[in-house]
Amino acid sequence: MTAASTSGISALQAIRTYTRSANPSAFLALNEGNRYFTTPSADGVIAYRRTGRYLVQFGGPFAPDEDYPRLLGEFAAYARERRLRVVGVQLQHADAVRYAEQGFTVNQIGASYAVDLDRFSLRGTRFMRLRNKISRALRSGLTVREAPAGGADDWTASVRELDASWLAGKGKHAKPLEFLVGQLGGAAQPHRRLFLGLIGDELAGYISYSPVYGSRAGWLHDLSRRRPDGPPGVAEAVNSHAIEVFRGEGAGWLHFGFTPFTGLDPRCEVPGHSPAFRWLVRQLWERGNAVYPARSQLAYKEKWAPDAVTAEYIAFRGRASLRSFAHVFRTANAL
């Protein structure tokens, strides 16, 4: 009746064609390690990972409108037949409404942020501190350039060494996040772009960008790393350079992606949401920095004065529960 596969080939086509509500993080569905649910009775795919007795599903079904409810319903049935629970994360508002219609409990979990590149400029007093930080990095000898298309492998050793240094700076118990962030390498790498911050020949930092499809097409500011002992402003200088490249190419938007627990607004909740879970998410914003560094992520994104802040959602098959929520963070390697 249904099938679960590990092939991401059809997933790329589905994401390009059926990205709903301009989901800025849709490309992350192509991460290595994700699985894909399909059914002969409907076009489209659902990306997910299994953790324990849970299927943690990413981004909503990538499917045409007429097949969307059938694909979601058959995925829920696939899980139910195997006595598995379903949690969907990083849903857009249109997804949230349709999940609620199928009996899911849906709550806002955070927000994503984006800059309109047609309007963007670093001029003006609001960006004075950001300009100064970028200038300081450039005065330290930093140069920024893009890795050649298809040439990211030439930087694999340097990137891995920087990643290890960056992670060590987070503390001995820190683990690299997965699932809700992008990655480098794998079959999807030719579609990404890598911008490098160099001091001499040494890699001081980098930012990886993934394509964004839909009504706000452009690029997603994804993985960002810098040397803990490097000069301040490396990430800002790299991103500023990338923005000018994207603007020159006519890209419409730069997306900074999803940050959990931020942008919370009761007006964004859909009918049938859980008030108790809404309270929990608010507490995680106030006191949950040990779970996820939402405040520092938001501070970086707000430096760029985003033009669009979009609510994102989590959906539970049945009641919202802390146990189900924890499996999202286990899948993301955050617990």
Instruction: Report the candidate in 207, 209, 210, 242 with the shortest Cα–Cα distance to residue 226.
Output: 207
Q: Could you tell me the residue ranges of all domains in the chain?
A: 3-112+261-293+306-331, 115-256
- Which phi and psi angles does 213 have, rounded to 5°? -110, 170
Write down the pLDDT at residue 1.
47
CATH for the stretch 3-112+261-293+306-331? 3.40.630
Tens digits of per-residue pLDDT, 164-222? 988 888 776 777 778 889 999 888 999 999 999 999 989 999 999 999 998 899 999 99
Supply 103's token pair. Answer: 């009996």
4 pLDDT above the threshold of 60 = no
Yes or no: say if 91 and 314 are a contact pair by the CB < 8 Å rule: yes
SS3 state of residue 31: coil
- Alpha carbon separation from 14 to 2, 43, 47, 64, 214 (Å, rounded): 17, 8, 11, 9, 12
Cβ atoms < 10 Å from Cβ of 103: 12
120 pLDDT above the threshold of 60 = yes
Burial status of residue 18 (CB atoms within 10 A of its CB: 0-12, 13-18, 19 or more): buried
275 pLDDT above the threshold of 60 = yes
Name which CATH class applies to 115-256: alpha beta
Tens digits of per-residue pLDDT, 122-154? 999 999 999 999 999 999 999 999 998 765 567
Tens digits of per-residue pLDDT, 48-82? 999 999 999 999 999 999 999 999 999 999 999 99
Q: What is the mean pLDDT of residues 253-257?
A: 97
How far is Cα 273 from Cα 97, in angstroms, rounded to an integer? Answer: 11
How far is Cα 333 from Cα 29, in angstroms, rounded to an integer? Answer: 16
Give the 3-state secondary structure of 188-230: CHHHCEEEEEEECCEEEEEEEEEEECCCCCEEEEEEEEECCCC
Give the type of residue at 19. Answer: T
Query: How many residues would you count in the chain?
Result: 335
Percent of the chain with pLDDT over 90: 78
How far is Cα 294 from Cα 272, in angstroms, rounded to an integer? Answer: 26
Instruction: Report the candidate in 272, 273, 204, 218 with the shortest Cα–Cα distance to residue 247.
Output: 218
Beta-bridged to residue 70, according to DSSP, are none
Supply 333's token pair. Answer: 């390697």
How far is Cα 64 from Cα 44, in angstroms, rounded to an integer? Answer: 7
40-56: b (≥16 Cβ within 10 Å) or e = eebbbbbbbbebeebbb
**Are 3-112+261-293+306-331 and 115-256 in the same CATH fold?**
yes
pLDDT band at 161 (very low <50, low <70, confident <90, very high): very high
- Which phi and psi angles does 111 have, rounded to 5°? -155, 160
Q: What is the mean pLDDT of residues 283-290?
A: 85
Write down the pLDDT at residue 8.
55
How far is Cα 241 from Cα 173, in angstroms, rounded to an integer? Answer: 33
